[in-house]
């Protein structure tokens, strides 16, 4: 059946060698509809971001663009504003008809840590061609904070599928009628629209803005850092904020979103024409996110927003992105938020897991 491959089928792919790794894949990497990818032991500092291109290997392009190598074995800092390529521990031998898509993990995106996957012969970031056999690489560009990384850290995730699994608007409306996907009216237009909440109840705090000059963040430190050392609070008493060019913000969606067990969803930009900003890169929602049976009653989507060339007034309720729902090939045996370490079930406005709770 066409659709996104669930956790139990991922286990089968690992057992058959379609997904392999050194050291072997662990159970902790397997999510309801995706597989966490692990950093290898070396990072290549490169002059610029690149794609391998048709018929070319990433390894050969590294020889062209490499500036120096960083040994990650004992931990090393990836510096803000630099571009690195890190070979991943995982390797693919996909059968014909199976493709894959990668995303940054939620915590990665909330640190403004641009992480994209590249492959041999690849002409797009984060896309793996039908039947691909070869290695995987992560391109990492810290945008707001320098970070300390080690081998085995999981900054991005990959999901596999076959056929056309995307729900069209009619199918999405039917699903919403069966299982409410948002708490309120659903704006369905090439996906499920979601808007920004700039009137949070009982507070003028509506978001956070990354400070420009901060210390290093060790990605192994959970609940460790004081938010005020890395973030400025963003307040609004009139449902508006002005986004500054080049600045990075953490905001929250007005809608509480539900992903039913037989579906997954990807966050996508709304329209470039609606403003001088974009919602950031971490954008995959596993089956069960916000689902009542998984311990949620809808969960807000955290918005990672970067402003572009001109200051822009963002207003409460403005649609800033959309969720594209995809069918699962079959229901996963594990749901987000049930029996696994799901950091963001039932979330509101929330920084990454590395920061102390406010």
Q: Are 153 and 206 contained in the same domain?
A: no
Q: Are 117 and 210 contained in the same domain?
A: no
So what's the pLDDT on residue 278?
62
Closest among 285, 293, 292 to 344, alpha carbons compared: 285
Domains identified in the chain, total number: 2
Return d(Cα 158, Cα 33) in angstroms, integer: 9
**Predicted model pTM:** 0.91
- Would 350 be classed as within a structural domain? no
Token couple for 17: 């060698």
So what's the pLDDT on residue 294?
43
Bond preceding residue 198 cis, omega within 30 of 0 = no
Q: Are 291 and 223 contained in the same domain?
A: yes
Q: Are 220 and 306 contained in the same domain?
A: yes
**Mean pLDDT across the chain:** 89
Q: Are 33 and 134 contained in the same domain?
A: yes
Mean per-residue pLDDT for 83-95? 98
Residue finishing a domain among 106, 132, 162: 162
- Would 335 be classed as within a structural domain? no
- Would 338 be classed as within a structural domain? no
Q: Decide if pLDDT at 357 tops 90.
A: no
Tell me the pairing of strands 217-218 and 147-149.
parallel
Residue finishing a domain among 112, 130, 162: 162
Q: Which residue has the tokens 């969803």?
A: 265
Mean per-residue pLDDT for 17-30? 95
Closest among 194, 192, 226 to 325, alpha carbons compared: 192
8 Å CB contact between 76 and 70: yes
Q: Are 300 and 283 contained in the same domain?
A: yes
User: pLDDT tens digits for 229-247?
Assistant: 999 999 999 999 999 988 9
So what's the pLDDT on residue 358?
67
Q: Are 83 and 226 contained in the same domain?
A: no
- Would 333 be classed as within a structural domain? no
- Would 231 be classed as within a structural domain? yes
Domain span including residue 259: 169-327
Query: What is the CATH number for 178?
Result: 2.70.40.10
Q: Are 76 and 10 contained in the same domain?
A: yes
Q: Are 158 and 21 contained in the same domain?
A: yes
8 Å CB contact between 174 and 166: no
- Would 246 be classed as within a structural domain? yes
User: pLDDT tens digits for 288-321?
Assistant: 888 864 445 678 888 888 888 889 899 999 988 8
SS3 33: coil
8 Å CB contact between 337 and 347: no
- Would 354 be classed as within a structural domain? no
Q: Are 180 and 284 contained in the same domain?
A: yes
Confidence of residue 9 (pLDDT cuts 50, 70, 90): very high
Q: Are 94 and 191 contained in the same domain?
A: no
Q: Are 255 and 217 contained in the same domain?
A: yes
Residue finishing a domain among 146, 162, 178: 162
- Would 90 be classed as within a structural domain? yes
Q: What is the DSSP code string of 99-168?
A: EEEEEE-HHHHHTTEEEEEEETT-SSTTEE-TT-EEEEEEEEEESSS-EEE-TT---EEEEEEES--B--
């Amino acid at each position: 059946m066409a659709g996104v491959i669930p956790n139990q089928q991922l286990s089968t792919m690992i057992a058959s060698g379609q997904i392999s790794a050194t050291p072997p894949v662990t159970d902790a990497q397997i999510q309801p509809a995706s597989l966490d990818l692990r950093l290898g032991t070396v990072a290549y500092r490169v002059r610029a971001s690149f794609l391998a291109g048709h018929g070319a290997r990433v390894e050969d392009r590294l020889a062209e663009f490499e500036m120096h190598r960083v040994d990650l074995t004992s931990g090393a800092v990836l510096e803000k504003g630099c571009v690195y390529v890190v070979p991943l521990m995982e390797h693919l031998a996909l059968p014909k008809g199976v493709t894959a898509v990668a995303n940054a993990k939620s915590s990665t995106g909330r640190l403004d840590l641009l992480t994209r996957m590249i492959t041999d012969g690849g002409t797009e970031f984060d896309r793996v061609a039908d039947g691909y056999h070869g290695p995987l690489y992560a391109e990492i560009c810290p945008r707001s904070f320098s970070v300390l990384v080690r081998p085995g850290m999981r900054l991005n995730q990959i999901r596999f599928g076959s056929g056309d699994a995307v729900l069209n608007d009619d199918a999405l409306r039917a699903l919403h009628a069966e299982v409410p996907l948002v708490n309120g009216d659903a704006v369905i237009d090439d996906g499920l629209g979601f808007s920004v909440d700039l009137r949070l109840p009982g507070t003028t705090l509506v978001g956070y803005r990354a400070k420009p000059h901060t210390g290093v963040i060790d990605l192994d430190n959970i609940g460790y850092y004081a938010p005020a050392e890395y973030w400025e609070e963003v307040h609004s008493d009139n449902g508006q904020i002005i986004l500054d060019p080049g600045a990075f913000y953490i905001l929250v969606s007005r809608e509480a979103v539900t992903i039913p067990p037989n579906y997954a969803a990807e966050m996508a930009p709304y329209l470039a024409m609606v403003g001088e900003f974009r919602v950031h890169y971490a954008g995959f929602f596993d089956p069960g996110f916000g689902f009542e049976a998984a311990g949620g009653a809808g969960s807000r989507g955290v918005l990672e927003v970067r402003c572009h060339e001109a200051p822009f007034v963002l207003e409460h309720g403005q649609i800033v992105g959309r969720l594209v729902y995809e069918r699962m090939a079959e229901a996963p045996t594990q749901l987000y938020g049930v029996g696994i370490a799901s950091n963001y079930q039932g979330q509101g406005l929330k920084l990454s897991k590395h920061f102390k709770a406010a």
